[in-house]
């Protein structure tokens, strides 16, 4: 930067406003979209597609699910987080009431694994949102697949 550039000079009597820190979000998604990680200045959020964790229309965890959830638990420990949010979501197929129940059951199942991994010092907010808050279009299977998910989010630790 050239400090002598006339476009960078303040007019006489001009002052700068207060500085502002903007929240930057980094999103990393694996190639198949099965897992997404969002990092912001304040929080870390993992979103796992339901197909990775559960059978079709089920809240019973698959054998591969425990390892994925355990990896998230390790990140929660690394961040020294004591408050964790576990939110379940579905697509818009079937009744809205069924989606609400299924999404909460799936969030509860993920919470069950996290609570075993993390112990009693962590508090949880667990919700099932059903088809609310889609992250993709429900007009095709690719989008519906992304909307069927469980999100685990927690505050970023100090100094990370």
Tell me the per-residue pLDDT of 73-96, one tens digit each, with 9 for 90 and over. Answer: 999 999 999 999 999 999 999 999
Tokens in use for 137?
A: 């279009």
Give the C-alpha separation, 64 to 53, whole Å.
7
Asked if pLDDT for residue 32 goes beyond 70, the answer is no
Secondary structure element (H or E) that encloses residue 149, with its range: strand 149-155
Sign of CA dihedral 153, 157, 159, 160: negative
Among 74, 103, 84, smallest CA distance to 43 is for 84
Put the strands of the sheet holding 43-49 in their side by side order: 26-29, 35-39, 43-49, 149-155, 83-89, 123-128
Binning pLDDT at 50, 70 and 90, where does residue 159 land? Answer: very low
Distances (CA, A) of 80 to 19, 56, 83: 29, 34, 9
Least confident of 6-10, 51-55, 118-122, 143-147: 6-10
Look at the block and give the residue holding tokens 């591969």. Answer: 64
Q: How many CB atoms lie within 10 A of CB 32?
A: 10
CATH of domain 22-142: 3.30.1330.60
Average pLDDT, the chain: 89
Query: What residue spans of the chain are helical by DSSP H?
Result: 50-53, 65-78, 96-118, 141-147
Domain ranges of the chain: 22-142
């Amino acid at each position: 930067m050239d400090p002598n550039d006339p476009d960078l000079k303040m007019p006489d009597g001009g002052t700068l406003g207060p500085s502002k820190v903007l929240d930057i979000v980094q999103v990393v998604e694996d190639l198949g979209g099965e897992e997404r990680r969002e990092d912001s200045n304040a929080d870390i959020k993992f979103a796992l597609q339901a197909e990775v964790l559960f059978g079709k229309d089920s809240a019973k965890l698959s054998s591969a699910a425990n390892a994925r959830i355990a990896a998230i638990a390790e990140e929660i420990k690394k961040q020294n987080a004591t408050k964790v949010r576990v939110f379940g979501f579905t697509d818009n197929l079937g009744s809205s009431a069924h989606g609400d129940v299924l999404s909460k059951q799936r969030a509860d199942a993920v919470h069950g694994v996290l609570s075993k991994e993390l112990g009693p010092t962590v508090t949880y907010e667990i919700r099932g949102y059903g088809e609310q808050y889609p992250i993709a279009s429900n007009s095709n299977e690719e989008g519906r697949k992304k909307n069927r998910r469980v999100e685990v989010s927690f505050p970023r630790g100090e100094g990370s």
